[in-house]
Amino acid sequence: MGQPKLGFWRRFAVAVVKPPMLVLTRRDWSGQEHIPASGGAILVANHISHADPVVCAHYVYDAGRWPQFLGKSSLFEIPVLGWLLRKVRQIPVYRGTVDAAKALQAAVQAVRAGDAVIIYPEGTTTREPDLWPMRGKTGVARLVYETGAPVIPIVMWGPERIFDPRTHKLRLRPRTPVTVVADPPLDLSAWTGTEPTTAVLHEMTDEIMLHLRDMLAKIRGGTPPDLWTPAALRRADSPDRGE
């Protein structure tokens, strides 16, 4: 597939990240044709490991789009790394602060400008004990309402072999199997013309997360559980709206 036009810093990021990923992973990829070749798009993914952003970025880049993530603001505070993340057009999320809405505004602007924005609806790595998707936050639904852009679901299985969030063990072994699959754009027409109330936003978010869960079940097998809800997420929609 064609590659996005890159400036110096994005070419630098590709040169740093892609060669090690080619050695580290044995890739079973499918569905890249569902990622639009151009125009604004919302890419929603499950989040199972701190290693999966680089796997997802590799997949999306090779599909011909520049991977633009919403990432936690603490990464942007790390010297050099934070500066580089901004240079390569990543979007910081300020959790639980008055600046939380700025991430959503930046994501809306990026999608409207024709970018492909990657969002983890869960807002963090899943806390479900077996790494199934958990209930998401409503930032992705808000982004859909604001932009009307297509929502492309992406699921991954295998990055947890590189870094398992349950054990915090890092294993850098060559040719670690990783599977990444994208589906066609989600049909969210049931919410066309509706008001983005809290209840509606949660309904749309649950629909997105259930689709990701069922896609993941096709990869890893087994019967998926109900969407898991940690105690911290059981309250109504939090002020953390940037995720």
In terms of C-beta density within 10 A (0-12 exposed, 13-18 middle, 19 or more buried), how is residue 217 classed?
Answer: middle
What pLDDT score was predicted for residue 5? 74
Q: pTM (2 decimals)?
A: 0.89
pLDDT in tens, 77-129: 888 888 888 899 888 887 665 566 777 888 999 999 999 999 999 988 999 99
How would CATH label the architecture of 26-233?
A: 3-Layer(aba) Sandwich (3.40)
Please write the tens of the pLDDT for every residue from 148-173. Answer: 999 999 999 999 999 999 999 999 99
- 197 CB-side CA count, 13 A: 5
Domain definitions of the chain by residue range: 26-233
Q: What are phi and psi of 175, to 5 degrees?
A: 60, 45
**DSSP string computed for 113-158:** TT-EEEE-TTSSS--STT---BPPPTHHHHHHHHH---EEEEEEES
